[in-house]
Amino acid sequence: MVGVASVIERKQLSSTMRICIWFAVTDSPWGGGNSFLRSLAAELRLQGHTVHHQPNEPADVVVVNAFNKGPGKPMNPRQVAELRQTGKVRWWAPSFPADFWYRFSRRGSAIVHRIDGVAEFVRGFRTKADDIQPAVNQHTDVSIFQSTYCRTSCAEAGIKPAVHTTINNATTADVFYPGTPRTGGPLRLMGTSWSPNPRKGFATLAALSDLPDVEVWFAGQWPDQIDPCGVVNLGVHPAPKLAEAMRECDAFVHAATNEPCSNSIVEALGCGLPVLYLDSGGNRELTGDFGVEITDDLATNVDQLRAEKDQLREKILDHRAQFLMPRAAAQYLETFQQAIDLVSAGSHV
């Protein structure tokens, strides 16, 4: 991972950038990628950079996200190839194979690929995303993995970019901020998931809700095939309302399988919540020092969390800056500059 100190030093020497984040962000809830890119764009603008989401507008660097260019909008690798070589994206570009565009001298901006986890590993079944993401990666200059697990699992799936770095996700400080710690009452746990895929850990949330002196809240989409037991379903909430609900809880639960770098974990940590987590994917990488691992004995896990939650909260607050967007934005800017320098030097022509 790029060091924060070196990033800040480099940023002071760099001029403002024109940045295209080729992803149609929405303020409505739509998964972690949308939340992260929306927050990143806002932070970069606060720092004086020009940020837009249209690939045909002038840019020093273009960010392509995983395998999609917006909620429910899959990326077309042929368009990425056209953008790389010509600096334009036209509706008829998919009519030509990607190799067609490499007949022309490169005129496009530097391209940075924010890589998601391997969709098949996360979802439990193969989809078009598993073909799109590696194909997109072939036409980019520098890749950003969201966690070490993201990098190693992508390598298993054959995604091995020559130039890459690892940058954990982050969240917005003025939305996901700590509240006043609760006193008294049952231990209140919070879970969230935009996706209703059962691999997101719903069964664990339901089992926790059956424990004595435990209350479980959930925000998002609950799957029909899993009995919620005593879980209080708050429904789908935009980020500010979700953060309010988190601040009314004692800890966060994340029992998802094979997620590369959960935005919901980072949001909970931003609110000062300790995390009860399943050691799968990138979960431990994010929360190992700030939570309690889920085992086969949930009652014991909850007892440990109850005993340690105040100390864990203090530790989270001491390290809160690492979960916030200024840290991630600084690292992204360093990576953008690296990609620009590579293209300028003719290393990726």
- For the cut 60, the answer to whether the pLDDT of residue 308 exceeds it is yes
Confidence (pTM): 0.92
CB 288 within 8 A of CB 217: no
* pLDDT above 90 coverage of the chain, percent: 89
**pLDDT at res. 347:** 58
| Residue 88 CA from chain centroid, whole number | 27
What integer is the mean pLDDT of 203-221?
98
35: amino acid identity, one letter: S
What does the buried/exposed string (b/e) look like for 273-292 if buried means 16 or more CB atoms within 10 Å of the residue's CB?
bbbbbbebbbbbbbbeebbb
- Sequence ranges of the domains in the chain: 4-170+324-344, 187-323
Q: Which fold has domain 4-170+324-344?
A: Rossmann fold (3.40.50)
Q: Measured between alpha carbons, how far is 335 from 10 in angstroms, rounded to an integer? A: 11
**pLDDT at res. 10:** 37
Q: Structure tokens of 254?
A: 């994340």
Q: Which fold has domain 187-323?
A: Rossmann fold (3.40.50)
CB 197 within 8 A of CB 119: no
Query: pLDDT tens, 51-105?
Result: 999 999 999 999 999 999 998 899 999 999 999 999 999 988 889 999 999 999 9
Please state, as a whole number, how many other Cβ atoms lie within 10 Å of the Cβ of residue 266: 26
Phi-psi label, residue 346: left if phi above 0, alpha if psi -120 to 50, beta otherwise: left
CA dihedral over 191, 195, 196, 197, signed as positive or negative: negative
Q: Length of the chain in residues, anyone? A: 349
What is the overall mean pLDDT for the chain? Answer: 93
Topology agreement, domain 4-170+324-344 and domain 187-323: yes
**238 secondary structure, DSSP code:** -
Query: pLDDT tens, 131-176?
Result: 999 999 999 999 999 999 999 999 999 999 999 999 999 999 999 9
Query: pLDDT tens, 4-15?
Result: 333 334 344 358
